[in-house]
């Protein structure tokens, strides 16, 4: 996407709080109109700082931020036309739900009749039409989150920013609200930028995800590509679960390489080269637990290693199996709980197999 087509654009943006350490380093990121982009990363990775610079609550130390083609670095937050939803919802406790939702319209000097009309529409949209006269304290966490969303959307902003808005909710409600926000986005076609450290939340909701670490976007991609094709070891281990092995490249062709594992076994694994350049390179191998087969048929898998079952955990839809394979005592396999699934016991000696293309040779 070129910057000319971008609705939101960060151009060479840096942020330092002390004049020395960069919290955000040379960020170049373009977001299309109507897109749902999530900034994902661990605490201190720079994702929330980027959101605060976009909102206008933090100044950029260097670089420009554009909204719909206009540089907004020097524009006050209230003049940017951006809706915000925070983790604590920031609802006014002394106001009713209706008054909370009306507040952004009153600030913008809308007429009373238009305020009444828009508030009703916004509350109906989040299925809280009958709660207009209640106070926030009389609502559940999920209902308060919906009020905060209605307030952010009521003035029809060009852009909505959400900073960990579901962080305070329990697991079931959190999952329900993920779909609610996703459907709101789809129905309204509005541009949303969302910040979270929860990878499943990001995968569920986003068109694209920017994975942050150490102030840098490590990878920007659609959820399936991010999960299936991580570009480095950090992304592979931050998104989903992974088995990792360490070793050295002993042979290499265009689309495959052979890696000799470190440690006592010295086993060789055939895999896909991603972040290795030639024979002798040290590498970390990444393999998803659901891609591993137990006791595969002869010739079914490119790689087969012996292992010992250490632990079996029944999780309903799958059985999580921990095994010792080579020098890795934390080798995880997810076995679907389908009819005729393989029957294992703790201590069993088994073989684990997988395809070369499911195993990626990443940076050491």
Percentage of the chain exceeding pLDDT 90? 73
| pLDDT tens figures, 271-300 | 999 999 899 999 999 999 999 999 999 999
Helices (H) and strands (E) in the chain, counts: 8, 20
Sheet holding 159-163, edge to edge: 82-85, 159-163, 191-196, 36-40, 208-213, 216-221
At 171 the pLDDT is 85
DSSP letters along 255-277, please?
A: S-EEEEESSSS--EEEEEESS--
Lowest-pLDDT range of 139-153, 186-200, 286-300, 339-353: 339-353
Using alpha carbons, list the distances in angstroms from residue 112 to 154, 291, 342: 14, 59, 67
pTM: 0.89
At 172 the pLDDT is 85
- 106, containing H or E segment: helix 97-107
Which tokens hold the place of 52? Answer: 């605060």
Which is higher by pLDDT, 139 or 4? 139
Q: How far apart are CA 227 and CA 250, in angstroms?
A: 27
Q: How far apart are CA 295 and CA 350, in angstroms?
A: 6
Q: How far apart are CA 357 and CA 55, in angstroms?
A: 42
Mean pLDDT of the chain: 91
Which CATH architecture does the domain made up of 8-234 adopt? Answer: 3-Layer(aba) Sandwich (3.40)
244-362: CATH superfamily: Nucleic acid-binding proteins (2.40.50.140)
At 264 the pLDDT is 66
- The domain locations on the chain are 8-234, 244-362
- Look up residue 13 and give its DSSP letter: E
In the structure, what pLDDT confidence band is assigned to residue 28 with cuts at 50, 70 and 90?
Answer: very high
Q: How far apart are CA 271 and CA 260, in angstroms?
A: 11
């Amino acid at each position: 996407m070129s910057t000319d087509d971008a609705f939101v654009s960060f151009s060479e943006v840096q942020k330092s709080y002390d004049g020395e350490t960069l919290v955000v380093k040379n960020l170049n990121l373009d977001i299309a109109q109507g897109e749902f982009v999530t900034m994902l990363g661990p605490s201190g990775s720079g994702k929330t700082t980027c959101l605060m610079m976009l909102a206008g609550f933090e100044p950029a130390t260097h670089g420009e931020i554009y909204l719909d083609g206009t540089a907004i670095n020097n524009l006050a937050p209230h003049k940017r036309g951006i809706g915000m939803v925070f983790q604590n919802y920031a609802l006014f406790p002394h106001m009713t739900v209706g008054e909370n939702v009306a507040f952004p319209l009153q600030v913008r000097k809308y007429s009373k009749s238009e305020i009444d009309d828009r508030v009703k529409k916004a509350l109906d949209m989040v299925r809280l039409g009958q709660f207009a006269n209640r106070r926030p304290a009389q609502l559940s966490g999920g209902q308060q989150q919906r009020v905060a969303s209605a307030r952010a959307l009521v003035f029809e902003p060009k852009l909505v920013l959400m900073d960990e808005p579901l962080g305070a909710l329990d697991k079931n409600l959190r999952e329900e609200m993920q779909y609610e926000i996703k459907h709101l986005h789809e129905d309204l076609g509005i541009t949303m930028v969302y910040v979270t450290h929860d990878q499943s939340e990001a995968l569920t909701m986003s068109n694209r995800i920017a994975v942050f670490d150490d102030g840098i976007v490590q990878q920007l991609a659609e959820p399936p590509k991010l999960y299936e094709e991580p570009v480095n070891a950090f992304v592979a281990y931050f998104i989903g679960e992974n088995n990792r092995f360490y070793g050295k490249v002993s042979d290499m062709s265009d689309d495959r390489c052979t890696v000799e594992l470190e440690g006592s076994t010295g086993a060789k694994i055939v895999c896909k080269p991603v972040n290795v350049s030639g024979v002798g390179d040290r590498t970390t191998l990444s393999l998803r637990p659901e891609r591993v087969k137990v006791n595969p048929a002869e010739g079914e898998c490119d790689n087969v290693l012996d292992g010992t079952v250490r632990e079996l955990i029944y999780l309903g839809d799958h059985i999580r199996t921990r095994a010792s394979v080579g020098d890795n005592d934390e080798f995880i396999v997810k076995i679907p709980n389908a009819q005729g699934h393989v029957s294992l016991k703790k201590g069993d000696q088994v073989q684990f197999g997988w395809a070369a293309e499911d195993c990626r040779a990443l940076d050491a």
